[in-house]
Chain A
Amino acid sequence: MRSQRKIRHEYSVSALADLSLDVRSRILITLLFIISIVTTAPYQLLMFLIYAGLISWGAALARISLVTVFGRALIVLPFSLVVALGVPFFTGGETVVFFGLELSIAGLWTLAGVVMKSFLSASTLVLLITVTPINLLMQGLRGLGVPVLLIDLLNLTYRYLFVMLEEAMTLRQAAIARGYRPKWLPQAVIVGRLAGTLFLRSFYRAENIYAAMRLRGYKQVMPSDALPKYEWTSIMMVVLFVFMLISIRLYLGCLK
């Protein structure tokens, strides 16, 4: 059942990839959108609402549930809270008293700002990677001038990520099955032993991969098809999008 859903999901993604915007434009729009988010001042709440609205609109266009997009972006919150939760206590300026705590208003704005910005940026990215298959994304990055060697390395790393993760989890499970219950720091040595095994496996795997690549004619670079031409209509979409963002921010007086 689960695997079937996975299959269907993959197919819908690739079908969507055929239909819509050039992947280079998608990457550029995502990047510019995130830059716009992080350059918005924290108290411009209306602007953040508009960003959230635009992300939801994008998700609706791609027929992806908002729960997926915003849910997966929650991963950034722990960092925001750990790093910025203390800020209202330690910042000067005017204060408000809240449940007996004296909190700096400027500090509260900072906290709100980083939480909103990191969350919305992460949502934007989640939207991009949910609607764009990884091979297409890599093609787009290549088209935008990222060195081919780096792209090859990224592709290979991504391919073996899950294999290694699975092996790491199996190794840990085996340790747990034999009574490994980490309680204090020196037991990190056991994690180290697992990691050592894992590295040796990854090393020998690399030998095999290289042999397989060589047997099928590998010469320093991964072969790939030429990218489709970057149509000016796709470029125009990026320009239009930037124009839209700037006009909204100008209209709302949110462009410093």
Chain B
Amino acid sequence: MAKMPVSITVNGQRYEREVDPRLLLSDFIRHEIGLTGTHVGCENGACGVCAVLINGKTGLSCLAFAVQCDGDEIETIESLGTPSDLHPIQEAFWENHGLQCGFCTPAMVLTAHELLSRNASPSRAEIIEAIGGNLCRCTGYQTIVDSIEQAAEQMRAGKEEAA
């Protein structure tokens, strides 16, 4: 099939490429742009590790074609913090043992990021609901929920300080 032109903004930078219509957004991010923080597990929607933000909302990048996202704004884990200057959510995951192998972590952090941007004080139940589609084979989830609770607290405190 003929390739199609797409223009997709990832982490604030515009990428113009010619792609096969069947190229998944996950493969566009990993193979075309070379950002490997977005992980891929099941590639059929079941594990949640490939979640990115599509126009500000989480979406599974294995259940979207790059051509579908022409004109969209994508954010991946690389948009949040750096190793020397972690985002408060990343900091909280680190402090609370919210990760072990780290395979599920990018999607967990981005899902938490979306949740906290629409709800600054989520309950534990709301956190569990938000990450319901994200599997973690290591932590047993409790420390992930702890991490997100603490991140929410710290981000609220940070906002008050800034005000």
| A pairs with B | no
